[in-house]
Amino acid sequence: MERTIFTEEHHMFRRSFRQFVEKEVVPYHHQWEQDGMVPRELWLKAGEMGFLGMNVPEEYGGGGVNDFRYNAIITEELVRVGASGPGFGLHNDIVIPYILHYGTEEQKKRWLPKMVTGETITAIAMTEPNTGSDLASVRTTAIKENGHYRVNGAKTFITNGILSDFVLTVVKTDPEQRHAGVSLLAIERGMAGFERGRKLEKIGLKAQDTAELSFNDVCVPVENLLGQEGAGFFYLMEQLPQERLSIAVAAIAGATMALEVTIKYAQERTAFGRPIGKFQNSRFKFAEMKTEVTIGQVFIDRCIMELNAGKLTTEQASMAKWWSTDMQQRVMDQCLQLHGGYGYMLEYPISRAWMDARVMSIYGGTNEIMKEIIGRTMGF
């Protein structure tokens, strides 16, 4: 089914980014998986090509194009080649929008230009060792004193955790409050007491630097507070739909990629004298997967356009994130099974895609939380 949401400008952008990925990412990604991160030089090259901060206004060095379809293209093209390392989606889709929506003019001028060039790599720190989806219960504190905040606490599972220069951190400026005590604070590389812990070993996403962060009496200027003190939880709820849609885009792209490589494998691999795709069980599995992926793509494309129009709801984003990531895991598992023993070998793309996909139903809010959100909107 033809996707109708893209214009010729989007197709040109896709061709350009695909060339960038084929030249600057694909030949090196295996080594980055061994290293556990991508080099900073990749970010600089992406910035030079205009692939960072497309929605940042031109006065701050960006592309000035507020259209999530470009963000989706970047995600789709990275997923297409199994490039899990470059954290461009986190940078473009999640962190930069917080600054655009809630930052002061001074903050935008101070932070955005280098985010666009790739000189400043960003991360967002929500999850703590004892706090996952319940953001109102974070324990990292930021107590105001003498023109700065004194920050103490720890975060974990932080994407871009090692490379990041700017960490948008969820803190409690009033530890006695729950939702009303949450604020967003920018903690920057080089601040005394801000330390990176170990780079975490994961099942998948091997080239992505995921780390623990610790804050020990870190003095952060009050000028690094994003928006209003105590309004952080509201900001998170307002921006999380875009993050969840970004995950859904990656999930559909991942399922599509898995299906394509498995169809090719089933056309070439023979058993009992004929290609395995010729067996009725295989055809039925392919029919089921093709149908689910097609249905999912139509819904996600609709959500992208709803986001562009400012109409994407929390309920819709939760539906997209939950259903697409669950579907992706079903497709990945069936595709691996159709590969037989070869599917268990790391030299085959399906094995790495299967491992990379497992986290999708966990981060950005677990799928159980997504169902809870949807249920609440139904009056339960």
What pLDDT is stored for residue 92 in this prediction? 97
Which of 76, 77, 243, 306 is catalytic? The answer is 243
What would the pLDDT profile of 144-153 be if each residue is shown by its tens digit?
A: 999 899 999 9
Residues 5-28 as b or e (16 or more Cβ within 10 Å = b)? ebeeebeebbeebbebbeebbeeb
Question: pLDDT of 242-277, one tens digit each?
Answer: 999 999 999 999 999 999 999 999 999 999 999 999
**Contacts for 234 with CB less than 8 Å, ≥ 6 apart:** none
Residue 235's pLDDT band, with cuts at 50, 70 and 90, is very high
Could you tell me which residues come within 8 angstroms of residue 326 by beta carbon, excluding any fewer than 6 positions away? 361, 367
**What is the amino acid identity at position 76?**
E
Q: For residue 272, give both structure tokens.
A: 């009992």
Average pLDDT over residues 65-80: 97
3-state secondary structure 24-89: HCCCCHHHHHHHCCCCHHHHHHHHHCCCCCCCCCHHHCCCCCCCHHHHHHHHHHHHHCCCCCCCHH
**Annotation says 243 is catalytic:** yes
Cβ contact 142:150 at 8 Å:
yes
Segment (H or E) for 237: helix 232-268
Q: pLDDT, tens digit, for every residue of 139-172?
A: 999 999 998 999 999 999 999 999 999 999 999 9
Contact 149, 225 (CB under 8 A): yes
pLDDT in tens, 292-347: 999 999 999 999 999 999 999 999 999 999 999 999 999 999 999 999 999 999 99
137 pLDDT band (50/70/90 cuts)?
A: confident
Q: Round the average pLDDT of the chain to a whole number and report it.
A: 96
Which positions ≥6 away from 222 have C-beta within 8 Å?
A: 144, 147, 148, 149
Q: Say if residue 132's pLDDT is above 80.
A: no
Lowest mean pLDDT among 127-141, 214-228, 339-353: 127-141
What is the per-residue pLDDT for 136?
Answer: 83
Q: What is the pLDDT of residue 187?
A: 98
Q: What is the CATH number of domain 8-120?
A: 1.10.540.10
pLDDT at 185: 98
Structure tokens at 150: 């004194």
Strand locations in the chain, DSSP E?
122-125, 141-145, 148-159, 166-172, 182-188, 194-199, 210-221, 225-226, 270-271, 274-275
Beta bridge partners, 188, equal 166
The pLDDT value recorded for residue 135 is 84
Provide the pLDDT confidence category of residue 380 given band limits of 50, 70 and 90: confident
Instruction: Tell me if 186 sits within 8 A of 111, measured CB to CB.
Output: yes
What is the spatial distance between Cα 63 and Cα 76, in angstroms, rounded to a whole number?
20
CA distance linking residue 84 with residue 78, whole number of Å = 7
Asked whether the predicted pLDDT for residue 1 surpasses 80, the reply is no
Token output for 250:
């990656």
Mean pLDDT of all residues in 49-62: 97
pLDDT single digits (tens) 16-30: 999 999 999 999 999
3-state SS assignment for residue 229: coil
- Confidence band (pLDDT; 50, 70, 90) for 131? confident
Query: Whose CA is closest to 290, among 260, 253, 250?
Result: 260
**Superfamily per CATH, domain 123-230:** Butyryl-CoA Dehydrogenase, subunit A, domain 2 (2.40.110.10)
Contacts of 280 (CB under 8 A, 6+ apart): none
User: Would you state the pLDDT for residue 232?
Assistant: 96
**Residue 134 in this model has a pLDDT that exceeds 90:** no
Q: Where are the domains of the chain?
A: 8-120, 123-230, 233-377
Q: How far is CA 288 from the centre of its chain?
A: 27
The per-residue pLDDT for 124 is 97
Can you give the pLDDT at residue 133?
Answer: 73
Residue 237 has pLDDT above 80, yes or no: yes
pLDDT the model gives residue 157 = 95
Amino acid 370: pLDDT? 95
The gap between the terminal CA atoms of the chain, to the nearest Å, is 37
- Give 233-377's CATH code, choosing from 2.60.40.790, 3.10.20.600, 1.20.140.10, 1.20.1050.10: 1.20.140.10
